[in-house]
């Protein structure tokens, strides 16, 4: 280091003989430091603030919700199967309005189990309505196929033979066939199915969302 210290004042000349500039840290001639330079320890880095917790976004109930569509389709299929099977039992025919309500309730139950999402009664009704729409579409397809098949004479003859084998009245079969050839009757039947499925399944979905949310709370 150039020079020496006297009561904290730097000498005017460096050891190389150069005259030092006042308050200079280094000699402008030889580059020697004129005083001890203390290394400044770097400040400790400030830790970044914690990231906010990100929760998965709630997907609205609708046809763009793939899980809701799959559950609605399955519930609608089960509704059709149960209605066809239990509709053959005499005293269970009176419970026909119960099956759409149960299908809407079941759809909400399965959706909550799969996602953990709490559904409002409106969302539950929407999910039940999706179930009813699929059930109505499947019913429309079956009715259309039945109308097409009943227009084939061979199919009609086979149906008459099977009808006699089970001991049913041929007059009942004629009534059914006449109804299936009447466009007004078919339209009225489809509208009845539309109201039965969509309204009651939506009602069942709303009840399911309300009751299941109360149980969780």
Average pLDDT, consecutive stretches of 10 residues, N- to C-terminus, the chain (217 residues): 45 67 68 59 70 56 92 94 78 80 95 89 94 94 85 79 70 74 84 90 94 68
Give the Cα separation of 129 and 203 in Å (integer): 8
Question: How confident is the model at residue 167, as a pLDDT?
Answer: 66
Return the pLDDT at 97.
Answer: 85
pLDDT at residue 145, rounded to an integer: 87
Please give the pLDDT value at position 34: 65
pLDDT in the model for residue 42? 62
**Predicted local confidence at residue 68, as pLDDT:** 93
Per the listing, tokens 């009840």 go with 207
pLDDT for the residue 199: 94
The per-residue pLDDT for 75 is 95
Query: What pLDDT does 30 receive?
Result: 74
User: Quick check: helix, strand or coil at residue 205?
Assistant: helix
**Alpha-helical runs (H) found in the chain:** 66-86, 98-115, 121-149, 153-165, 170-180, 183-216
Task: Provide the 3-class DSSP secondary structure of residue 33.
Answer: strand
What CA–CA distance (Å, rounded) separates 177 from 11? 123
CB 78 within 8 A of CB 91: no
Taking the C-alpha atoms of residue 26 and residue 116, their distance in angstroms, rounded to an integer, is 71
The answer, as to whether pTM is greater than 0.75, is no
CA distance 149 to 144: 9
Nearest Cα neighbor of 213 from 98, 124, 100 is 124
Q: What is the pLDDT of residue 2?
A: 47
Q: What is the per-residue pLDDT for 10?
A: 44
Residue 141: its pLDDT value, please? Answer: 92
């Amino acid at each position: 280091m150039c020079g020496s210290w006297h009561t904290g004042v730097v000498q005017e000349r460096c050891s190389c003989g150069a005259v030092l500039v006042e308050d200079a840290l280094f000699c402008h001639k030889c580059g020697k430091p004129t005083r001890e330079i203390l290394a400044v320890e770097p400040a400790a880095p400030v830790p970044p603030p914690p990231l906010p917790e990100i929760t998965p976004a709630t997907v609205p109930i609708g046809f763009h919700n793939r899980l809701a569509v799959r559950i609605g389709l399955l519930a609608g299929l089960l509704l059709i199967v149960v209605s066809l099977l239990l509709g053959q039992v005499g005293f269970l025919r009176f419970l026909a309005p119960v099956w759409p309500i149960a299908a809407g309730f079941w759809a909400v139950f399965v959706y909550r189990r799969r996602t953990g999402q709490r559904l409002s009664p409106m969302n539950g009704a929407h999910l039940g309505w999706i179930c009813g729409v699929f059930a109505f579409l499947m019913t429309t397809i079956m009715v259309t196929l039945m109308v097409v098949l009943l227009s084939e004479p061979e199919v009609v003859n086979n149906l008459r033979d099977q009808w006699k084998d089970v001991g049913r009245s041929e007059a009942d079969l004629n009534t059914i066939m006449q109804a299936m050839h009447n466009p007004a009757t078919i339209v009225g039947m489809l509208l009845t199915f539309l109201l039965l499925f969509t309204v009651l399944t939506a009602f069942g979905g709303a009840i399911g969302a309300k009751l299941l949310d109360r149980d969780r709370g």
